[in-house]
Structure 1
Amino acid sequence: MPKVSDGHPSYLVVNADESEPEICKDKEIMRQVHKLLDGCLIAGVGMRASAAYIYIRGEYVNERKNLERARKEAYEAGLLGKNACASGYDFDVHIHFGAGASFVVNKQHFWRALKENKGNQDWSLLSLLMQDYMAVQLQSQMLETVAVSPTILRRGPEWFSSFGRKNNSGTKLFCV
């Protein structure tokens, strides 16, 4: 994201599509949906985003329902929405589930994934993007990156970098 805002809105896009063959790490991470929502808020504040859009694989029905339930709880508790966490910062989280493998890595992929998924359109997002498509700032992140950020901030970067080897530190979830 640009260090200085150009006045256009910024959004965080979280890729939970998991379209890589034989990988199920996102599904495992989404069992702790509150960490994901916390990570969205932390990343959103850091990049001056007004909202996060989580693009979740359509086949992950239970995970989506759990995420929607957690999101509702977070709004009710005042952790998301207007004045999120009583901080004066407004931040919304939207969930969009796909109809197949659409890998969302940038504006063009995100736009195409929304347009091609006729069964589940978030019309408010579509109209927003259509109004000012090229000016909107999108930052796409993988689910794993966003979900681990609250733990890194709580325990510190030294803790995170204590795992692994020099120049290749931190944790990584693999599916074998």
Structure 2
Amino acid sequence: MISSIEDKDRIFTNIYGFQDWGLEGAQKRGDWDDTKGLMSRGQDQIIEDIKSSGLRGRGGAGFPTGMKWSFMPKEPKPGRPSFLLINADESEPGSCKDREILRHDPHKLLEGALIAGFAMRARAAYIYIRGEFIREAENLFAAVAQAYDKGLLGKNAAGSGYDFDVFVHRGAGAYICGEETAQIESL
């Protein structure tokens, strides 16, 4: 007898939206649980962990995430801070992951942004969200506010000693914004 694989969330713990997407619900599912502890491993160790995991990007090329992160400068140049740009435009035909994450699990995205930003020595993240994602943008803006209110973002983010801000930018719906340089120009 052939049995199917159990249908359960693995990384995103509320992808179907059955639970509260807000901070309280996210924390009950383990989000923001040991963020400070993860960051205490150090920037280079986090990048090595991501390399070892084999994690790849979900864009067209499937580029190794740890390798991409390691390209960031180890020391910021004076007057030239580094930033993390998160593409939630979802402009690739047939792609439908961003909308569900933004709608049902935005704190997972924000915690990941903080850890990734810290590892890459970025001072802030800019989340570029598709203009048509109205409810998703509302949830993301609310999640960002909740995280700031609880000290998870901003000065001394998650008690880590690292300052990290998150900015959300709504796009205008042009397909070209899925391309990196066009997206940066749009910001």
TM-score range, shorter chain: 0.5 to 0.7
Which residue does 1:159 correspond to in 2? none
Contact 1:55 1:97 in 2 (8 A): yes
The answer to whether the Cα contact below 8 Å between 2:74 and 2:121 also exists between their aligned partners in 1 is no
What is the identity, as a one-letter code, of the residue corresponding to 1:90? D
Q: What letter is aligned with 2:113?
A: C
Deviations along 1:114-146, one digit per CA (max 9) or x if unpaired, are 3xxxxxxxxxxxxxxxxxxxxxxxxxxxxxxxx
Given the alignment of the two structures, is residue 5 of structure 1 paired with residue 79 of structure 2, yes or no? no
Could you tell me which runs of 5 or more consecutive residues in structure 1 were left unpaired when the two chains were aligned: 115-176
Residues 124 and 167 in structure 2, CA contact (< 8 A), matched pair in contact too: yes
Structure 2: which amino acid aligns with 1:17?
D
- Mapping of residues 9-158 of structure 1, within 5 Å: 9-30=81-102, 31-101=104-174, 102-106=176-180, 108-114=181-187
**Length-normalised TM-score, structure 1:** 0.60
Between the aligned partners of 2:76 and 2:126, the Cα distance in structure 1 is 20
**Per-residue deviation at 1:104?**
4.5
Greater share of strand residues, 1 or 2?
A: 1
Q: TM-score, normalised by structure 2?
A: 0.57
1:28 to partner: Cα distance: 1.4
Structure 1 residue identity aligned to 2:106: V
Query: In the TM superposition, what whole-angstrom CA distance separates every residue of 1:4-57 from its partner, at most 9, and x where no partner exists?
Result: 333320000000000112321111122200000000000010011110000000
SS at match of 2:165: strand
- How many Å separate the matches in 1 of 2:179 and 2:122? 17
Percent of residue pairs identical: 58
TM-align CA RMSD: 1.4
- Give the number of equivalent residue pairs: 113
| Separation (CA, whole Å) in 1 of partners of 2:179 and 2:152 | 27
CA distance in 1 between partners of 2:185 and 2:76 (Å): 25
Q: Tell me, what secondary structure is at the counterpart of 1:37?
A: helix
